[in-house]
């Protein structure tokens, strides 16, 4: 009767209740909170042990499903990989990826690790988008939000941890960056997340992109910050996607270099020019100007990473390394995205469940990440998962192997 009941022999919930338990366990910030939420909203009491065990178990099955999809993709021939398995091919296919951080601790460990427990988790999202192509740049002037002294200072502080005082700079009018003309509109997002490293996230992300017909799209973009890990995944799995460096990260580097080692007013004047060059994709001029500043400041003093000379030298290296991914004018003409804001916000949503100074994960991290990613996806992944699950139940008890 297992398939008629719809849950395995050892499950203490009806199928509908199991969905609610899993939802609460993976969407609430903690299992304790999940139990409270379930009691208040669904008027059902569930023990912490049950909540934890079943959320992780269902999450583990999501991991298996993601892995199976990745293995199936790897077994395809190259021409098959380029074809869309669905009728729908997005107008613009965009893949974004980034890293997050969670604390992972071996529960059997007796002494505290000196290095701490923070490990990198990785997430990627596949975004189908619509946008128009243009013969001319639809937005040639840099949005005011990037030339607002307070806004750019806050942005640089948030992204690069750099603080610079600007008292004399002119005040800019408030304008939302989201209002930029020609900005592509997101239709459907799906998310992949893992704490098993870049190799795993790359395999799962490319399989997810393929399953949604992304490879067959005419306009394709891969957007990420400057991390070498991201671009390693791009080289291996998405080399036919237009590589785009997240504009927000790039402009923060430019701002830091412009304000380093000179008076605030002069630095701000330079920044306005450099920011416009970056926006236009005039990277040669920008690199030349930053190189001149670097020469004026001389070699960075050893051991001081925050000296003006070191900050400018770092920016110069960054711009040289990323120069092929910063043709922003061309990307705007093609109607492609130029910031990785969607994956940044996805990471924040995942962090809500996964990250916290008081949260330590062991084997539960991977299943919970997979579940959280599935809930953030708008592709009915979980609806299909619950339907398929019923048919895969074993009519026998599953025994856990003793540790």
Partner 1 sequence: MATTNEIKERIAAFARELAEELGEADDSNALCWLDAIETQAVEIGDAVSVELLKQKAQKQPVIDEASTCPKCGKLGRYQGLRERKLTSRRGPVPISEPEYYCPACRRDFFPDDQRNRR
Tell me the C-alpha to C-alpha distance, in Å, between residue 281 and each of 28, 89, 197, 338, 399. Answer: 43, 29, 32, 11, 59
Q: What is the DSSP letter of 246?
A: -
- By CB under 8 A, tell whether 307 contacts partner 1: no
- Regarding 12 and contact with partner 1 (CB under 8 A), the answer is yes
Examine residue 402 and tell whether it contacts partner 1 (CB under 8 A): no
Residue in the structure block whose two tokens are 């003093």: 301
The reply to whether 91 sits near partner 1 by the rule CB under 8 A is no
Distance between CA atoms of residues 80 and 298, nearest Å: 54
Least distance in angstroms from the C-beta of 91 to partner 1: 39
Q: Is 258 in the site for partner 1 (CB under 8 A)?
A: no
Does the protein bind partner 1 through residue 1 (CB under 8 A)? Answer: yes
Our finding on whether 16 is near partner 1 (CB under 8 A) is yes
Cα–Cα distance, 126 to 87 (Å, whole number): 17
Q: Is 190 helix (H, G, I), strand (E, B) or coil?
A: strand
Q: Which CB, 16 or 263, lies closer to partner 1?
A: 16
Length of the chain: 403
- Of 14-22, 72-80, 128-136, 381-389, which part binds partner 1 (CB under 8 A)? 14-22
Q: Does 311 bind partner 1 (CB under 8 A)?
A: no
Q: Is residue 301 at the binding interface for partner 1, with CB under 8 A as the rule?
A: no
Asked if 57 interacts with partner 1 (CB under 8 A), we say no
- Least distance from partner 1 to the Cβ atom of residue 68, Å: 21
- Decide if 359 contacts 102 (C-beta within 8 A): yes
Q: Coil, helix or strand for 54? A: helix
State which residue, 42 or 162, has the beta carbon closest to partner 1: 42
One character per residue 382-401, x = contact with partner 1 (rule: CB under 8 A): ------------xxxx----
5 binds partner 1 (CB under 8 A): yes
Token code pair at residue 234: 């791009």
b or e along 145-161 (b: 16 or more beta carbons within 10 Å of the residue's beta carbon)?
A: bbbbbebbbebbeebbe
Among 46, 254, 260, 343, binds partner 1 (CB under 8 A): 46
Between 161 and 395, name the residue whose CB sits nearer to partner 1. Answer: 395
Q: Which of residues 27 and 293 has its CB atom nearest to partner 1 in the complex?
A: 27
Out of 7, 35, 156, 312, the only residue in the binding site for partner 1 (CB under 8 A) is 7
Query: Closer CB to partner 1, residue 20 or residue 203?
Result: 20
Dist CA 208 CA 94 (whole Å) = 12
Among the listed residues 33, 44, 264, 276, the single contact to partner 1 using CB under 8 A: 44
84 touches partner 1 (CB under 8 A):
no
Q: Is the Cβ–Cβ distance between 169 and 152 less than 8 Å?
A: no
Residue 17 near partner 1 by CB under 8 A:
yes
CB 271 within 8 A of CB 254: yes
Question: Count of residues binding partner 1 (CB under 8 A)?
Answer: 22
Q: Which range in 12-20, 127-135, 249-257, 310-318 contacts partner 1 by CB under 8 A?
A: 12-20
How would you classify the pairing of strands 92-103 and 219-224?
parallel
Told to check if 42 binds partner 1 by CB under 8 A, we report yes
Nearer to partner 1, 17 or 287 (CB): 17
Q: If binding is defined by CB under 8 A, does position 117 make contact with partner 1?
A: no
Report the C-alpha dihedral over residues 318, 324, 329, 331, rounded to 10 degrees: -110
Least distance in Å: CB of 397 to partner 1? 7
DSSP category for residue 104: B
For residues 111 and 99, give the distance between their C-alpha atoms in angstroms, rounded to a whole number. 28
Supply angle C-alpha 176, 177, 183, rounded to 5: 125
Contact 381, 374 (CB under 8 A): yes
Residues 6+ apart with CB under 8 A from 296: 261
Distance CA 381, CA 369 (A): 14
20 is a contact residue toward partner 1 (CB under 8 A): yes
Q: How far is the CB of 47 from partner 1 (least distance, A)?
A: 10
Provide the binding-site residues for partner 1, judged by CB under 8 A: 1-5, 7, 9, 11-14, 16-17, 20, 42-44, 46, 394-397
């Amino acid at each position: 009767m297992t398939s008629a009941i719809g849950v395995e022999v050892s499950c203490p919930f009806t199928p509908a209740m199991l969905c609610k338990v899993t939802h609460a366990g993976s969407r609430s910030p903690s299992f304790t909170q999940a139990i409270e939420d379930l009691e208040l909203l669904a008027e059902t009491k569930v023990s912490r042990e049950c909540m934890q065990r079943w959320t992780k178990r269902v999450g583990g099955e999501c991991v298996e499903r993601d892995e199976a999809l990745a293995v199936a993709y790897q077994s395809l021939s190259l021409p098959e990989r380029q074809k869309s398995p669905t009728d729908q091919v997005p107008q613009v296919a965009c893949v974004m990826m980034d890293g997050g951080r969670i604390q992972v601790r071996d529960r059997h460990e007796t002494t505290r690790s000196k290095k701490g427990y923070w490990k990198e988790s990785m997430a990627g999202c596949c975004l189908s988008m619509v946008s128009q192509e243009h013969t001319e740049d639809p937005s040639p002037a840099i949005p005011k939000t990037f030339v607002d002294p307070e806004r750019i200072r806050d942005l640089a502080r948030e992204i690069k941890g750099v603080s610079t005082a600007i008292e004399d700079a002119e005040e800019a009018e408030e304008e939302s960056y989201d209002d930029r003309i020609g900005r592509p509109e997101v239709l459907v997002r799906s998310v992949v997340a893992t704490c098993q490293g870049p190799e795993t996230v790359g395999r799962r992300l490319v399989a997810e992109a393929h399953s949604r017909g992304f490879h067959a799209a005419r306009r394709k973009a891969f957007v990420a910050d400057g991390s070498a890990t991201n671009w390693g995944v791009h080289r291996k799995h998405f080399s036919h996607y237009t590589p785009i460096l997240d504009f927000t990260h790039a402009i923060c580097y430019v701002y830091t270099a412009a304000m380093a080692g000179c008076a605030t007013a002069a630095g701000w004047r330079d920044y306005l020019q450099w920011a416009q060059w970056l926006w236009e994709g005039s990277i040669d001029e920008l690199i030349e100007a930053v190189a001149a500043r670097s020469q004026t400041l001389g070699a960075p003093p050893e051991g001081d990473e925050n000296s003006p000379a070191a900050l400018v030298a770092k920016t110069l290296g960054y711009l040289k390394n990323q120069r092929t991914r910063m043709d922003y004018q061309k990307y705007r003409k093609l109607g492609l995205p130029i910031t990785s804001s969607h994956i940044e916000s996805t990471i924040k949503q995942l962090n809500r469940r996964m990250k916290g100074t008081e949260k330590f994960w062991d084997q539960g991290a991977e299943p919970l990440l997979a579940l959280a990613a599935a809930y953030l996806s708008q592709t009915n992944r979980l609806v299909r998962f619950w339907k398929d699950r019923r048919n895969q139940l074993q009519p026998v008890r599953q025994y856990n192997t003793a540790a």
